[in-house]
């Protein structure tokens, strides 16, 4: 994370090359959390990939790669009963691409400025801005008023210091401004449980 507050424009410049569109059941988003000498690891939502083992990812430069689902959070298919707290999978591609986005280790505070980036309704690399409205479910869920729509799922929720504070996940369709992301704390726990503690 950066020491100084970044403008929205600066944030977008940092984040965009590390975000990919997931072409699976419709469209979703993913972002880079780790790299090895020959692989890049990305996070997205389980509901974006559903039961697929392979998906295509599309980068800002228009290039396409095949990604493999290499880990799913325990009970990740509970999204089918509208429980999104475990709605996480880890993808891998066989090349080094993008830059690793830093993940905030401590919980974000209510009122922090945030941006969401993703592909709502097929509109690629859309950026929306808002604040952290609340932290819920014992710190596992971040509520935000940054607009999140179908296609944003799996994309990063970033604070103004360039740190991932959540994985955009779902909305209450009957209401406006009620959007949710799985917290960075929950994300780090999933990576650790999957044996990918060095992803950062």
Annotated catalytic sites, by residue?
47, 87, 153
Please state, in angstroms and rounded to a whole number, the distance separating the CA atoms of residues 129 and 14.
Answer: 15
Please state, in angstroms and as integers, the Cα–Cα distance from residue 5 to each residue in 2, 9, 113, 121, 160, following that order. Answer: 7, 12, 10, 30, 5
Question: Which residues, in sequence order, are CB contacts of 176 under 8 Å at separation 6+?
Answer: none
Beta bridge partners of 42: 32, 91
User: Token pair of 33, please?
Assistant: 């959390």
Query: How far, in Å, are 77, 88, 95, 118, 132 from residue 47 at the CA level?
Result: 7, 8, 25, 15, 23
Going from the C-alpha of 193 to that of each of 54, 165, 186, 196, the distances in angstroms are: 22, 19, 10, 8
DSSP string, 10-52: HHHHHHGGGEEEEEESEEEEEEEEEE-SS-EEEEE-HHHHTT-
């Amino acid at each position: 994370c950066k020491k100084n507050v970044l403008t929205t424009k600066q944030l977008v410049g940092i984040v965009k090359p590390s975000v990919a569109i997931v072409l699976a059941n419709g469209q979703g988003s993913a972002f880079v959390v780790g790299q090895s000498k020959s692989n890049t690891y990305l996070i997205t939502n389980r509901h974006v990939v559903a039961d697929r083992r392979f998906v295509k990812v599309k980068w800002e430069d228009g290039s396409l790669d095949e990604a493999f689902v290499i880990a799913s959070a325990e009970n990740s298919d509970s999204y089918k009963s509208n429980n999104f707290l475990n709605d996480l999978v880890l993808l891998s591609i066989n090349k080094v691409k993008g830059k690793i986005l830093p993940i905030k280790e401590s919980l974000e505070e209510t009122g922090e400025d945030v941006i969401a980036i993703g592909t709502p309704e097929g509109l690629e690399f859309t950026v929306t801005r808002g604040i952290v409205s609340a932290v819920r479910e014992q710190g596992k869920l971040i509520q935000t008023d940054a607009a999140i729509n179908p296609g944003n799922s799996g994309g990063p929720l970033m604070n103004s210091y360039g740190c991932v504070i959540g994985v955009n996940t779902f909305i209450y369709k009957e209401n406006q401004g009620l959007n949710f992301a799985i917290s960075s704390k929950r994300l780090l726990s999933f990576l650790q449980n999957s044996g990918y503690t060095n992803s950062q």
